Structure 1
Amino acid sequence: MPEDGKEAGGGGKEPAGKGGPALSAVDALTVKGRAPRTGYGRERFGSPWADTDSNKCPTRDDILGRDLTDVKRRAATCAVTSGTLAEDPYTGRRVEFRRGGGSEVDVDHLVALSDAWQKGAARWEPRKRIAFANDPLNLLAVDAGTNRSKGDGDTATWLPPDKSFRCTYVSGQIAVKKKYGLWVTRAERNAMRRVLAGCPEQRLPTGGNPTEAPARFTAR
Structure 2
Amino acid sequence: MTVSWSAYRRARRRSRQAWGLLVAVAISVIAALFWFFTAGQFAAAGPAASGPTAAPVFDAAWMKPVAEPNPVPPGTALSALDGLAVKGRAPNTGYSREAFGQAWLDVDRNGCDTRNDILRRDLADVVFTEGSTCKVTGGHFQEPYTGQVVEFRRGAETSSAVQIDHVVALGDAWQKGAQGLTPKERQSLANDPLNLIAADGQANQQKSAGDAATWLPKNTAIRCHYVARQISVKAAYGLWVTAAEKDAMKQVLASCPGQQTMTAR
Q: Could you state the TM-score of these two structures normalised by the residue count of structure 1?
A: 0.85
1:199 pairs with 256, 260, 263, which one? 256
Q: Among the aligned pairs, what percent are the same residue?
A: 55
After superposition, the C-alpha distances for 1:103-130 in whole angstroms (9 at most, x for unaligned) are: 2111100000000000011121100000
Match of 1:66 in 2: 121
Which amino acid in 2 is paired with 1:187? A
Which amino acid in 1 is paired with 2:204? N
Alignment partners' CA distance in 2, 1:136 and 1:181: 17
Alignment partners' CA distance in 2, 1:134 and 1:90: 20
1:55 pairs with 107, 110, 113, which one? 110
| Alpha carbons 2:86, 2:243 under 8 Å: kept | yes
Report deviation, 1:25: 1.1
Alignment partners' CA distance in 1, 2:184 and 2:79: 29
2:131 pairs with 51, 55, 76, which one? 76
> Tell me, what secondary structure is at the counterpart of 2:105?
coil
Match of 1:46 in 2: 101
1:113 pairs with 148, 158, 170, which one? 170
CA-atom RMSD in angstroms: 1.5
1:151 pairs with 205, 208, 229, which one? 208
Alignment partners' CA distance in 1, 2:138 and 2:164: 14
Residue 184, structure 1, aligned to residue 260, structure 2:
no
Match of 2:16 in 1: none
After superposition, the C-alpha distances for 1:2-30 in whole angstroms (9 at most, x for unaligned) are: xxxxxxx9525x7xxx9311111111000
Match of 2:87 in 1: 32
Which amino acid in 1 is paired with 2:232? A
Alignment partners' CA distance in 1, 2:144 and 2:195: 14
- How many residues of Structure 1 are paired with residues of Structure 2 in the alignment? 195
Gaps (5+ residues) in structure 1?
1-8, 209-220
Alignment partners' CA distance in 2, 1:75 and 1:11: 39
Alignment partners' CA distance in 2, 1:123 and 1:112: 16
Match of 1:133 in 2: 190
Alignment partners' CA distance in 2, 1:93 and 1:107: 16
Residue 98, structure 1, aligned to residue 157, structure 2:
no
> Where in structure 1 do 4 or more consecutive aligned residues deviate above 3 Å?
none
| Alpha carbons 1:10, 1:178 under 8 Å: kept | no
| Alpha carbons 1:33, 1:186 under 8 Å: kept | yes
Larger radius of gyration: 2
Which amino acid in 2 is paired with 1:47? Q
| Alpha carbons 2:69, 2:185 under 8 Å: kept | no
Residue 11, structure 1, aligned to residue 70, structure 2:
yes
Which amino acid in 1 is paired with 2:137? T
When you count helix as a share of all residues, which structure comes out higher? 2
Taking CA–CA contacts closer than 8 Å with sequence separation of 6 or more, which of the two structures ends up with the larger relative contact order?
Answer: 1
